[in-house]
Amino acid sequence: MISLLFIVGLTACKKSYDYPFQNPDLNIKERVNDLVGRLTLEEKIGQMMNNAPAIKRLGIPAYNWWNEGLHGVARSPYRVTMFPQAIGMAASFDVNAVRQMAEYTSDEGRAIFHDATRKNTPGIFRGLTYWSPNINIFRDPRWGRGQETYGEDPFLTGQIGMAYVRGIQGDNPRYLKASACAKHFAVHSGPEWNRHTFNANISNQDLWDTYLPAFRDLVIEAKVTGVMCAYNSLFGQPCCGNDLLLMDILRNQWKFDGYVTSDCGAVEDIFKTHKSQPDAASAATDAVLHGTDCECSDNGAYQALGKAVERGLITEGQIDQSVKKLFEIRFRLGMFDPDEYVPYSNIKLDVLENPAHQAQALKLAHESIVLLKNQNKLLPLDFNKLKKIAVVGPNADEESVLLANYYGYPSKVTTVLNAIRQKATGKTEVIYEKGANLTDNYIFTSTYNDSYFSYKGEQGFWAEYYQSMKAEGHLALSRRETRLNYQWGDGEEIAPGIIARQMAAHYTTTFTAKENGEVCFYLHADDKAQLYINGERQKKLPSVQSYYLLNAKAGRQYTLKIYYVQNADNGELKLDVGKLHKSDYKQVAQRVSDVDIIVFVGGLSSHLEGEQMPLKIDGFEGGDRTSLDLPAAQKDLLKQLQATGKPVVFVLLTGSAIGLEWEAANLPAILCTWYGGQAGGQAIADVLTGDYNPAGRLPVTFYKNVSQLPDFEDYAMKGRTYRYFKDVPQYAFGYGLSYTTFQYTNLKITELNSTTLKVAATVTNIGDCEGDEVVQLYLSNQGRSFVTPIRSLKGFQRITLKKGEAKTVEFVLDSKELSVVDLNGHSVPMRGEILIAMGGCQPDVKSLASQRCLQAKITRPNK
């Protein structure tokens, strides 16, 4: 009797499950097979869309696969840490710092996911599948999305990309911390305007030498769990239905066992723009049979998979293979297991923007800054000796430029102007002149006063919110609001029952003019809003900013209506009112002519370069660039500032290479600071004042002008990047200065065996202060029967040396590094004469003479 009770008690303690897939003690494949075997065809198809619906009868929650984590958790309704844009992190040449950044990003993403799950508010940009990193090769500086990449070099891209993946995914043998996704596979880097129709044709050598190595590194070495196929075609086949890329290389050669997602709308492109298939069912079949498991689209082609099965184009068993891959990822993320099983489930919201994460944002912002020129050691600035400085330029007091694209909202962003003012408190007077916009000379001065705006006699605006982009018949909330100044993450709750996604908002107010004359309304909404005055739609001025002019009369009332629509992504809306005038550059220069030094903060922003943008102005089209020049408005202002005779420090914010011919010849100091994230302003001020010694290196070639480039649509590597560019650039890949000086001695090359070399040299800080050095190793194997790179980066290390300190740096090169790619795309050993260079930059006459770089030749048998 006692034995029977004991057995009954054990049975009662053992947890029972309705279905085997719910049992966390079974292996994942068993659970996935059991789950998928219980689904109807319709349910399976639903799980292959990025916004996978819940399957309530089995207790499967809804899940949206789409999330972004390029440089911090993006588009989230939570306040998060924002690190420098990817191109800036590449400039750090610091794989450990990037891995730490990725770990912190996945910490914050985990906290958001668990909080949203527990509150039953899941959705887009709250999941654990990050569609990052972008490891396309930044082959041409005109590409607007190049800022999202790790630059032009396959080796650097692979090393930084692997660090990111390992940081995001974690090292638990059973569970993924989050899932990274290598994109866009694989020959994809602009132009933006024709990406839905473009067909890339390249040589096998370029494919395997340039475009595939980083993807191979992430798939084979870092075990990335996701891959995104691209919009364009390769060799006449759309990338999301490509035999070579998805079947032969990814699945067969590389044995990739993760999931493939389409870029958003790319499966529809197969029949709509590429027209390689006649209809949605055929396009969906084509994509699935090539291994595209998930379609990113609101109303995509995969909805026709049921018809495809009926027509015999595809079988349900073939669909099962994709569904199983998707569920395997979700099981590996622990989404169906109790919290006590999943080691990451206890990460809470207090990790968001915690001190360690903020410190890492500053560290990477520091490390990303590249000192391009420092004539007569103008920098660092000594505020104890400067009585007055001027900060000038369109990016000086701008927060959004620091966040770049694919961004989230941190609680605090420090602009360059504010950071300089904090440094100068009580010591140096700082005056500010915007001077110019990014691409024009419009200067807006706010005169905003709440009393300007009223609705039915009460101050403010009447707001109407619709949970539909079409608005009509979908009014969900109306209320009075004081001021229009909002930042919403995608899906953020605006008010009970209203989220910032696929929504519309109408705002009505009466503007009462206080005086006669021209009034300017500034409406910041990224072209998602329209302004009507007295029932007439207003046309904005030809500017990147949205300026609208009204010739007002004092005391007269004007009815203003703003129609705002948000589909996806971040939501931003701000209405300001004031005066607009055209800047006179000579007068600006005259007003700052009595200062000791001028700091000009200019360049580009994600309002000019980015993803498929509705922009066409001089120098910019569709998110891409048509010129490498600094916008004329900024250059004209710089020339007037330089004419004052006062030293001008140019702080360049950009996501791509700028042709700096005039600037390099005429300005004494230039800092390239990229888009530095939330701490970008502080990092710049620290470098300007010497509180941090810059050591970033260019991850791209800075060409002199666009005439040095091949045609943008030509994907052949001839004449592109430092590896194949034979002309003289303005600034070379890997270039960057310091406030101290490093010297290289004792270069030694040791053959460890027939396939392995060790290269070592001593690096000594012979300058006046501590600093970082980025030690770079390049190999060249010219004289082959086929074209090989002029030189290729094969190793790098970022080290810190105190004044007078020396360190021996070693690189061990195996057969992978000691190879080149032949015309057939095959990797073959380096033979004959091999030139090996080690230093703080690429070898050239100046660097070799100053011992900032050393080089030597070895010969390997021609066998």
- For residues 498 and 546, state if they share a domain: yes
Domain range spanning residue 760? 742-860
- For residues 559 and 650, state if they share a domain: no
pLDDT band, residue 5 (cuts 50/70/90): very low
Query: In the predicted model, what is the mean pLDDT of residues 108-123?
Result: 95
Q: Would you state the pLDDT for residue 427? A: 81
AA letter at 524? H
Terminal-to-terminal C-alpha distance of the chain: 82
Q: Would you state the pLDDT for residue 4? A: 42
Q: In the 8-state DSSP scheme, what is residue 533?
A: E
CATH code where residue 250 lies: 3.20.20.300
Other CB atoms closer than 10 Å to residue 61's CB: what's the count?
15
Cα–Cα nearest to 675, from 145, 130, 66 = 145
Q: H helices of 63-182, where?
A: 86-92, 95-118, 154-169
Query: In the predicted model, what is the mean pLDDT of residues 730-755?
Result: 97
Residue 412: both structure tokens together: 């605090």
Q: Would you state the pLDDT for residue 649? A: 98
Q: Check whether 8 has a pLDDT greater than 50.
A: no
pLDDT band, residue 726 (cuts 50/70/90): very high
CA distance linking residue 635 with residue 209, whole number of Å: 38
pLDDT band, residue 3 (cuts 50/70/90): very low
- Domain membership flag for residue 514: yes
- For residues 633 and 514, state if they share a domain: no
Domain-terminating residue out of 317, 332, 347: 332
Q: Would you state the pLDDT for residue 861? A: 86
- Domain membership flag for residue 348: no
Q: Would you state the pLDDT for residue 682? A: 98
Q: Check whether 10 has a pLDDT greater than 60.
A: no
Report the b/e string of 448-471 with b at 16+ CB within 10 A.
eeeebbbbeeeebbbbebbbeeeb
- Domain membership flag for residue 370: yes
Domain-terminating residue out of 582, 607, 634: 582
Question: In this predicted model, what pLDDT tens digit does every residue of 396-421 receive, in sequence order?
Answer: 999 999 999 999 999 999 999 999 99
- For residues 503 and 627, state if they share a domain: no
- For residues 574 and 458, state if they share a domain: yes
- For residues 577 and 460, state if they share a domain: yes
Domain-terminating residue out of 312, 332, 352: 332
609 is catalytic: yes
- For residues 577 and 457, state if they share a domain: yes
Cα–Cα nearest to 145, from 611, 524, 632 = 611
Residue positions counted in the chain: 863
Other CB atoms closer than 10 Å to residue 374's CB: what's the count?
18
CA 259 to chain centre: 22
pLDDT band, residue 623 (cuts 50/70/90): very high
Query: In the predicted model, what is the mean pLDDT of residues 225-246?
Result: 98
Catalytic, out of 569, 609, 629, 686: 609
Number of domains making up the chain: 4
Query: In the predicted model, what is the mean pLDDT of residues 504-530?
Result: 94
- Domain membership flag for residue 754: yes
With pLDDT > 70 as the criterion, what percentage of the chain qualifies? 98
CATH code where residue 751 lies: 2.60.40.10
Question: In this predicted model, what pLDDT tens digit does every residue of 44-67 receive, in sequence order?
Answer: 999 999 999 999 999 999 999 999
**Average per-residue pLDDT for the chain:** 96
Q: Who contacts 217 (Cβ-Cβ below 8 Å, separation ≥6)?
A: 158, 159, 161, 162
Catalytic, out of 68, 152, 263, 576: 263
User: In sequence order, what DSSP letters do the residues of 98-124 get, joined into one string?
Assistant: HHHHHHHHHHHHHHHHHHHHHTT---T
Q: Check whether 11 has a pLDDT greater than 70.
A: no
- List Cα–Cα distances, 635 to 602, 629, 667, in angstroms: 9, 9, 12
Provide the CB-side half-sphere exposure for 515 (13 A, CA). Answer: 7
Q: Would you state the pLDDT for residue 509? A: 98
CA distance linking residue 299 with residue 287, whole number of Å: 16
SS3 readout for 429-458 = EEEEECCCCCCCCEEEEECCCHHHEEECCE
- Domain membership flag for residue 653: yes
Phi-psi region of 435 (alpha: psi -120 to 50; beta: other; left: phi over 0): left
- For residues 537 and 461, state if they share a domain: yes
pLDDT band, residue 527 (cuts 50/70/90): confident
Residue 363: both structure tokens together: 């560290």
CA distance linking residue 253 with residue 223, whole number of Å: 14
569 is catalytic: no
Query: In the predicted model, what is the mean pLDDT of residues 646-675?
Result: 98
Q: In the 8-state DSSP scheme, what is residue 148?
A: G
CA distance linking residue 98 with residue 108, whole number of Å: 15
- Domain membership flag for residue 537: yes
Cα–Cα nearest to 695, from 97, 237, 167, 273 = 97
Q: Would you state the pLDDT for residue 14? A: 60
CA distance linking residue 679 with residue 89, whole number of Å: 13
- Domain membership flag for residue 708: yes
Range with the poorest average pLDDT among 34-38, 145-149, 502-506: 502-506
Query: In the predicted model, what is the mean pLDDT of residues 352-367?
Result: 98
CATH code where residue 637 lies: 3.40.50.1700
- Domain membership flag for residue 612: yes
Give bridge partners of residue 771 from the DSSP assignment: 801
CATH code where residue 569 lies: 2.60.120.260
- For residues 769 and 830, state if they share a domain: yes
CA distance linking residue 538 with residue 560, whole number of Å: 10
Query: In the predicted model, what is the mean pLDDT of residues 777-783?
Result: 97
- For residues 573 and 609, state if they share a domain: no
Question: In this predicted model, what pLDDT tens digit does every residue of 151-173 receive, in sequence order?
Answer: 999 999 999 999 999 999 999 99
- For residues 434 and 466, state if they share a domain: no
Question: In this predicted model, what pLDDT tens digit does every residue of 304-357 receive, in sequence order?
Answer: 999 999 999 999 999 999 999 999 999 999 999 999 999 999 999 999 999 999
SS3 readout for 536-567 = EECCCCCCCCCEEEEEECCCCEEEEEEEEEEC
- For residues 764 and 802, state if they share a domain: yes
Residue 825: both structure tokens together: 């795309």
